[in-house]
Each structure stands twice: as C-alpha cells, then as structure tokens.
Structure 1
Amino acid sequence: MSTHRKPTSPTPNEESPPSPKSFTMSSTTVRIRDARPPYFPTRLETQLLAIYPLTLFFGSIFSILSPASRSAPYSHILQSHDPATAPSYFAQKKNVFNVYFVKKGWFWTTAAFFAFLIMWPGYGKGLSAKRIRAGLRYAAVTTWWVVVTQWFFGPPLIDRGFRLTGGQCEVLRDDSKREGLSVTREYITAATCKAVGGTWKGGHDISGHVFLLILGSSLLWFEFLPALTRAEGLRDGRKIMLADGKLASVAVEKDPETEGEEQTTRGIKFSLGVAALMWWMLLMTAAFFHTWMEKFTGLLVAFSGLWAVYFLPRASPGVRAVLGMPGV
C-alpha cells in the first residue's frame, strides 16, 4: 500500500525565510534592481545636477549675445566689466548680493544647513546617528571648500593651480621690486597679492564663485532632497553596494510621525531660499564674470567634492558607515 504524504505547512510560530529580493533596515527598504553602478546619480539627481552646467552655458551665451555686455569693456585681469560701464547692476562686483551673500557664501550655506539639521524631524530626536552623520557630511564638504579656497598646507588649491599655470602677482614681475623678496613671498596668494597692491594675473584662475555657489547649493539640495521626495511621494531610486557585494536600491519609507507635509518639509524653506539665491547668483556670475574655462573648472572641482561625499558612500559600505546617506 502506498502512502500519500500531505505537504507540510509552517506552523503559526514558524517564520518564513526572508526573501533574497528585499529586506528592511530601520526606515530603509532595499530591493535588488538593475545593474546601474551605485555611484551614478538617479534620474532626479541627474536632472538637478544638469541645472548647473546649463546655467553656466546659457549665462555665458547671454554675455555674448547681449548688446549691453558686448559694448561694455571686459577686463580679464579684473575678471569683470569696467564698473563705470557695467551692463547690469549684477555685473558690478560691489553689488549688494555679491558683497553680502556670495562673498560670505559659506556662512549662508552653514546657516541654511544647520537650520534644516535642527528643524527637520526626519533626523530623529536629539543627537541621533542620522544627525551626526549629516554633520560629518557637512564637515567633509566644508573641508573641501577650505582646501580649495582657503588653505591647503599653505596656499589653497586655487592659488596653487594659478601659480603652476604660470601666474604670479604683478608686483613680482618688476625686477626692481623682486629684489630682496624672500622665497616665501614668491609664493604669495591672491589675497596677499591684493593686500600689497599687486595684480593676480598670468595663470589659470579657477572660478571661486562658481565653485562655492555650486558646492554650497548642492550640499543643501542633496540633504533635503529626500525630505522633498518623501513629501511628494516620489521614487528615490538610489543604489548602494552591500557588504556582500550585491547591488541594491534604497527607498526612504514614510515615518508615521512625520507624514504630514508640514512636518516633512519643516526647516526646508529657508534652505531652499538660500539654494535658490545661490542659483541666481551663479547665473549672474556666468553672464558677467570669468571666462568659459574658469567657470568650467570651477564646476568640475565642485562636482568632484560632491561625488566623494554623496556618491562614493553608495559604492563603499565602509565610507557609508561613517558618512551615511541623506534620508537614510
């Protein structure tokens, strides 16, 4: 006699094995998707980043086609139009937005970042791990800003690059004035050159304004973009590399405590306003200041720092353990 065995089913106390396709870590759902490299931007991030080169391109085209710009003398040494014939208020270096906003750009970036860091409930309560990692990302981007524009074991990278491409302080071109100068004085920075009445010329000058405006506004965008996508119910789509080498997709889940739009977007308005004003000043910089190559290198240097902080961690579990990811 043959014996028929019924298929066994798990008892109520038994748990089914987790699906290899998905799992949840705190507020993050991860699913295996396509094989797109994790260090590539998502479609939404690509559209956001594309705004910057397009802004520089159309601003530069405007400066060529505008009759007012073409008729106003432009000084490559001063990297601006003659103040007496400037084609626009924004073409003057002493316009109020340039003096009190762009020149103090990292102060406004810092104020906007910490307003969002303190007010957005998505970071959790108190000194949470998410809030600490966001602070570390800010510190990493700030370090890149310091290295490029302020100090790098001496002159910053912008000034070092200018010297390496043949630039120097105009005062040093006069042999009689060069006599008696120390070796240290030969490696004068742009700031000290202007302080002694010299002119910084002759080399390639990376646009510090373009670098700062792109770096600062992108830092803000990348930090609060997950909050905006959560509020609008948009798909995240970021990829990460897991510790076992598998590729996964990250999606930020909604927190029941912060589902309301007012809760989800708290702290964003001020940061969004600063980022928007930075974009406008980037457009004005593209239209009235610097050469094409100076603006292009400013863009590249800013993007390289952003990639290291916001895209490299997706491909490196070790870096991600320290810096984390916005919204995760």
Structure 2
Amino acid sequence: MSARRKSSANIQPNKTQRNPLNNFNIKNETLRNEAKGTKPTCEAASVKDVLVMAVLHLCKKTIFFDVRLKVALYLAALFVVSLIGDFIPFPKSYFARSDNLFNVYFVKLGWFWTLLFSSPFLYFTNLTLCCGNFQRFLKHHVPRLLIATIFWYCWTSIFNVIENAYGRCNMRGYETKRGCLKAGHFWSGFDISGHVFILIYSSLVLIEEARPIVGWDNIKEHLRVEDHNRKTQDSSSSLNPLRNLNEDEITSLKFLYSKYTPIIKLLFVAITILQLLWDIMLVCTMLYYHRMVEKVAGGIIAICTWYFTYRAWYPSKSILPDAAGKGPFIYQQKAVQPSSVARRNSLLTNKTAKPSTSSELPKFMEINRSFKVKNIIMGALEQLVEMGFPKEKVEKAISIIGDNTEQAMEWLLAHSNDEEPISVPASETVSAVTPIETDTSVEIKNDESSSGEGSSSISAEAKSIKCEDCSRLFKTPLEVEFHATKSGHTNFSESIEEKKPLTEEEKKAQLKLIEEKIAKKRADREEKEKQESLDRERMRIKSGKDLTEVRRKMEEDEMKKIVEERKRDKAEEKAARDRVKAQIEADKAARRAKSGQPVIEKPTQSQVQPQAVVSPPKDYKQTRIQIRLPNGTTIAETFDKNEQLAAVRLFAQLKQGDEVGLMSFGMMTTFPRKVFGADDYEQTLEQLGLVPSATIIITRVVS
C-alpha cells in the first residue's frame, strides 16, 4: 500500500465527478429546470446601433453629471470667476461684446430655446410612458413646463422692478430708467443678473426633463419578455414591470416606443448640445457682465427655484404634477444587492440559521459566497493562532477588522501590550458561526487494486491534505479553502503525513519576520507621504514665484503705458499752445492792418505761421473727436458737424460701458479749457468749436 491514497469527489445522486481540489464526495441535487432555453433573446446589434449607443452614452455622461456637485460648482464659479472678472484685467474677446451672435440670438431668447427642445422631448417620452393615455399625460406631466415658465416670467419681472425702485440716473431730473436712458444718460441700480438666472435655471430644467432617457432601452427588453410570458402563460417572471398593464396598454406602448424612440434619441443629443452652450455662455457672463453680487443673487434664485420644484414638489406623491419619467410602470429601478459586509455580518450574528442541505450545496469552486466567507474567516483565525497570538485576541481582531489577515495582525501588534482580558461576545466572534453541515459521503479507492483490499474509511489513515502545487500540508478543509482562494492552486490530495505544529522558536521567528514587513511598509508609506508633502510645497513656492513675476510684468507694462501717455499729452499740449500763439499773432496783425498801423515783419518762423492760419476757412462736413477715458485709454470717432454733444457722450457710454458707464462723469476740453454743462449737450459740435477735430477728456464727477 502506498504512503498516500487518493480519492475522488462524487456529486450525488446521479454520477461521480472528479473534484479538482480534494477527493470529497459531495451529494448535491442539481435543479434541471434552470436552463430550458425557452426565453426570448435580444436581437443582434448592428454597427449603426453601436454608434448610436456610443453617442448616447457620451451625452449621458455629459448631461447627467452629479447634479449636487454641479450646483456647488455653479455657486463657486459665480463667486471666483466674478472676482477674476471684476478685479483682474481680463482680455476682451468677441464674447465681451453685448451684440455678439450668441448673446443676441440665444441668451436673450434662452427660455424660448429651452422650451423649443424640452417640450417635444417631454411629449414623446412621457406620452409613451403613459401608454398613449393623453389625459394622464396632460394632468401629470405638462404642468411642469407651465410652472417653470411662470417662475421664469415672475422672477424676471421682479428683477426689473427692483432695478427701477432702487436705482437712480447719473444726471438729475430723471426719475425713471426709461427716461434716463432715452436722454443718453446712465441708470445705476441693483440689477440682478437675468442672464445668470435664465442660464442656470434652463440648464437644470433640461437635465431634469431629460432623465426619462436613462434606461429607455430597457423598455424594449421588458416588452419582449412580457410578450413571451403572455403567449406561453408563463408566470415565472413575475417581477417584470409591465405585468400589471392590460393588452391595450401593451399594444399602445409597443407602437409608441417603436415610433418615437429615434426622435427621442435625436432630441436628447440636441438637448445635450444646448445645455453645454448654456454653460459656456454662463462663464462668459461671469467674466464680462454685471457685478459679482448681482450674479450670485441671480444664481441662488435659479437654484432655489429648481430645488423647490424638481426636488421637493414633484417627487411628492400627494401633489401633482409627477416627476419626469414617472408612469404606470417603473423601468429605471435597479435591484439592490446586499453588500459583502452585510452578508458577513449576517453570518457572524446568525446563530439559529439552519444548516445547508445536500441539495443546496453547489459544486466545489462554485460554492455560494456565504460559505466562502466563513471558510476564509476560519482560515484566517487558525493562521493567526498558529503564529502565536492568543485565540481570544485573534477572535476579537477578526470581529473588528474582518477577514483581512494583514490588518488583523496590525491590530494585534498594536494591542499586544493590553493587560486587561478581552471578552468577546458570542455574536461577534467567529466561534458563533454555525458551521455548514453537508451531507457528504467520502469514498476511498485503493490505488493498488491488485492487493485485494476493498474500500476503507479514510478517516483511519489520512492525517492531512497536501497541495500538489506547493507541497504544503493542511489539517482541515477550511485551511484548504483559504489556501485555494489566496493562491489559486487546485491540485490537492490526502496524505498520511501529519502536519507538525510550529515550535516556539518558529513562531517567534515568523512573528519577527511579519513585524519587520509591517515596519518596512509603514516606513515606506511615511517616506512616500513625506515626499508628496515636499512636492506640494515645491509646487506652492513655484506657483507663488510665477504669480509674483506675472504681477511684476503687469506693473511694468502699466508704467510704460503711463509714461507713453504722458509724453503724448505733453506733445499735444505743446502743439495746442503753438496753435494758440499763432492765432494770437494773427489777430494782432489783423488789428494793426485794420487800424492802418504798419505791420512789422519779422523774418522768423513764428511770424510766417500765423499767415497760414488766416487763410480762408474750409467748409468741413465732419469732425474727428478723440475721447480720453479716466484710465488713460483713448478712443476716436468721426461725427457729423451738426450732431449734438450728447451723441458723443452716448458713444462713450456704449463703447466703454464697464469703464465710464457705472459712474457719473463730465466732459471737458483743455485748449481752450472748457467744462461742458447740461445745456452744452444740446448744441452741435460746430457751435461748440469742435470742428474739424478736438480732444475731449472724460472726468469723474463726485456726487
């Protein structure tokens, strides 16, 4: 007889099969009715279907971004980006102009575009989900867009009332915004940003109304299964969400789903593009328009309105309308699977659980998850006890940490100096786990059939189980399960060799080796954290230096601009003085000639220049006006000589609204020095002597 006997695992009751792990004979009654091949299968997907699914998946990832995080990003961006636009010089672009294409034709008509895409999408999706019941559709879904439109109209009207009530004109004598703007002046008030409100509110409404597209393809599968169940009168699939619909509703659902699904997918892609456009225009509004407090107020009102309607009102079951995608059946609900932690806790605390029967025990390596968890926990417990840790402490560590051997070992080492005894409740220890009893029959076949010996009991001679891959010995099947799970080995056999317990010296050596590994891992982790901290500090210092350098360059550029402006001003003042002196000399010469006094000719350049001035004046039709703003920049424009000075003032307001539009200002000329008053704005440029060219300086008026 050989020193080691091998056995084969038999799965009862029909025939014997070879078990790849050990030679146990496990009785198991396999259910034969689990795979009859009678359920309908899905149709094969074409290349077109795959492309459509890829586009829809990308759109879903874009538009169904976590709404709570998106709202937080909206509020943070309103604050941060507005600060950047208000206090840091930001380069002007095409989007900074109020007459840009997107602002005129999209943002100002934002609610029109939102309704244009969301209304047909709401009609096609929710009418399909209502199985063609038009009255239910009108009662439960249409009011959502009507309520959103009412909120939009009310809030925008309130914004205008607030601006008119708490604003004032920069020129006295105008009590209304309309009269002030008509006269060419500027109305200063608390203007809550309607653009921010409509862009954020439209984006959130589009996201909520587009939610029926999630799981939309599941309806096709539900219809296929339900149609099969009703034809075969099969009630096994009792969880189909369409089981409560009558035949007319099923027929209507099939027709509407097949008819409207392509249109719904196309509209969903358009809604995604529109929502992205709203986000882009929102960033432009944050940078170039309104003050920070006005934009933040508009954003908060939009978010609160959305939360009240779509998160508090519509989900409630007692008040109509319903939420988007709600109908007589639920197609978006997913079954919640219990987590591994919950299953492990139920195993550790369930004392009264009945042992599994032979008919419930699957084949080896395909056992249920609860059985695996028990085996892993028992294997970890025995492994830690063999290392020399007290059994009570090991049970306490596993009850706290779980089946992770490394973490349990770290806990044991951290609490190795505890002197108080550890009392572990029976419900928290692995010892409370009721072992799974299996009705197994173990048969031993003699390898040497010629010896004449029949089958005998293996329990009298086999003392361990040996792994043929690594030659390790194990005492119990639980250790075998644990080793197979960790290493992936499958070749095991029974052996008469006895597994010797570790000696005290071996236990100490193994424990010392484990402590060294843990200390090394801890040191590596600390070194890594230290290096990451140093890298973060270097990045912070580098970013600080870069920011300082940028500020220094900006200051140098600003100083260069100021110096150049001063040089230009001095040159203009000198030229103006020369013109005035020449005019004075010309007037003196004219007076002498008129009185008959001899004109003294001086062969100097100053005497030659006035004669050129007294030449017959030209009839100028236009005049070129240079306007110098308070920040030093200069803008120039050509006006008709018969236009009033108010047109020049209005041009300055429109051209540089952010610079001079938000403050009271006056207008003056230097040579000759003249400050224009309210009466001068009604006179023509020719009457004021601003033809053929002149320079007007914008000055701040302190009220």
Q: TM-score with structure 1 length normalisation? A: 0.59
Deviation digits for residues 33-73 of structure 1 (CA, Å, limit 9, x no counterpart): xxxxxxxxx9933123234224424533553686544xxxx
User: Are the equivalent residues in 2 in contact too, given 1:117–1:123 (CA < 8 A)?
Assistant: no
Q: Does 1:56 align with 2:78?
A: yes
CA–CA distance in structure 2, aligned partners of residues 191 and 126 of structure 1? 50
CA–CA distance in structure 1, aligned partners of residues 322 and 314 of structure 2? 9
Shift of 1:110: 1.3
Query: Per the alignment, do residues 66 and 174 of structure 1 end up closer, same or farther by CA in structure 2, a change over 3 Å counting?
Result: closer
2:118 matched residue in structure 1: 113
Shift of 1:325: 0.9
Q: Does 1:293 align with 2:298?
A: no
CA–CA distance in structure 2, aligned partners of residues 113 and 131 of structure 1? 15
Q: Does 1:325 align with 2:323?
A: yes
Query: Per the alignment, do residues 192 and 219 of structure 1 end up closer, same or farther by CA in structure 2, a change over 3 Å counting?
Result: farther
User: Are the equivalent residues in 2 in contact too, given 1:56–1:295 (CA < 8 A)?
Assistant: yes
Q: Does 1:208 align with 2:198?
A: no
Q: Does 1:148 align with 2:146?
A: no
- Amino acid in the other structure paired with 2:72: A
Higher relative contact order (CA closer than 8 Å, sequence separation 6+): 1
CA–CA distance in structure 2, aligned partners of residues 231 and 57 of structure 1? 40
Query: Per the alignment, do residues 276 and 126 of structure 1 end up closer, same or farther by CA in structure 2, a change over 3 Å counting?
Result: farther
CA–CA distance in structure 2, aligned partners of residues 135 and 105 of structure 1? 20
Quick one: which of 172, 175, 179 aligns to 1:174? 172
CA–CA distance in structure 2, aligned partners of residues 232 and 295 of structure 1? 42
Query: Per the alignment, do residues 104 and 314 of structure 1 end up closer, same or farther by CA in structure 2, a change over 3 Å counting?
Result: closer
CA–CA distance in structure 2, aligned partners of residues 148 and 193 of structure 1? 24
CA–CA distance in structure 1, aligned partners of residues 201 and 80 of structure 2? 19
User: Are the equivalent residues in 2 in contact too, given 1:116–1:266 (CA < 8 A)?
Assistant: no
Query: Per the alignment, do residues 294 and 277 of structure 1 end up closer, same or farther by CA in structure 2, a change over 3 Å counting?
Result: same
CA–CA distance in structure 1, aligned partners of residues 138 and 69 of structure 2? 27
- Amino acid in the other structure paired with 1:174: R
Q: Does 1:129 align with 2:136?
A: yes
Structure 1 counterpart SS, 2:66? helix
Deviation digits for residues 118-161 of structure 1 (CA, Å, limit 9, x no counterpart): 33344643635245433211111111111121xxxxxx211222
Query: Per the alignment, do residues 64 and 199 of structure 1 end up closer, same or farther by CA in structure 2, a change over 3 Å counting?
Result: closer
Instruction: Give matches, 1:240-279, under 5 Å.
Output: 265-279=265-279
1:199 matched residue in structure 2: 186
CA–CA distance in structure 1, aligned partners of residues 207 and 179 of structure 2? 34
User: Are the equivalent residues in 2 in contact too, given 1:217–1:278 (CA < 8 A)?
Assistant: yes
1:45 matched residue in structure 2: 67
Please list every run of 5 or more consecutive structure 2 residues that lacks an aligned counterpart in the other structure: 1-63, 220-240, 243-249, 327-703
Q: Mean Cα displacement is larger for which, 204-213 or 219-228?
A: 219-228
User: Are the equivalent residues in 1 in contact too, given 2:314–2:321 (CA < 8 A)?
Assistant: no
Q: TM-score with structure 2 length normalisation? A: 0.29
Structure 2 counterpart SS, 1:324? coil
CA–CA distance in structure 1, aligned partners of residues 321 and 178 of structure 2? 33
- Amino acid in the other structure paired with 2:141: A
CA–CA distance in structure 1, aligned partners of residues 121 and 108 of structure 2? 22
Give the number of equivalent residue pairs: 228
Query: Per the alignment, do residues 119 and 197 of structure 1 end up closer, same or farther by CA in structure 2, a change over 3 Å counting?
Result: farther
1:157 matched residue in structure 2: 158
Structure 2 counterpart SS, 1:267? helix
Query: Per the alignment, do residues 265 and 228 of structure 1 end up closer, same or farther by CA in structure 2, a change over 3 Å counting?
Result: farther
| Bigger Cα Rg | 2
User: Are the equivalent residues in 2 in contact too, given 1:117–1:131 (CA < 8 A)?
Assistant: no
CA–CA distance in structure 2, aligned partners of residues 99 and 157 of structure 1? 22
1:19 matched residue in structure 2: none
User: Are the equivalent residues in 2 in contact too, given 1:119–1:266 (CA < 8 A)?
Assistant: no
User: Are the equivalent residues in 1 in contact too, given 2:315–2:323 (CA < 8 A)?
Assistant: no
User: Are the equivalent residues in 2 in contact too, given 1:124–1:131 (CA < 8 A)?
Assistant: no
CA–CA distance in structure 2, aligned partners of residues 61 and 232 of structure 1? 46
Structure 2 counterpart SS, 1:323? coil
- Amino acid in the other structure paired with 2:132: K
Query: Per the alignment, do residues 56 and 191 of structure 1 end up closer, same or farther by CA in structure 2, a change over 3 Å counting?
Result: farther
User: Are the equivalent residues in 1 in contact too, given 2:110–2:199 (CA < 8 A)?
Assistant: yes
- Amino acid in the other structure paired with 2:75: P
Identity %: 26
2:573 matched residue in structure 1: none
CA–CA distance in structure 2, aligned partners of residues 315 and 274 of structure 1? 26
User: Are the equivalent residues in 1 in contact too, given 2:286–2:295 (CA < 8 A)?
Assistant: yes
CA–CA distance in structure 2, aligned partners of residues 280 and 267 of structure 1? 20
2:99 matched residue in structure 1: 94
Instruction: Give matches, 1:296-311, under 5 Å.
Output: 296-311=296-311
Please list every run of 5 or more consecutive structure 1 residues that lacks an aligned counterpart in the other structure: 1-41, 70-86, 150-155, 179-185, 234-252
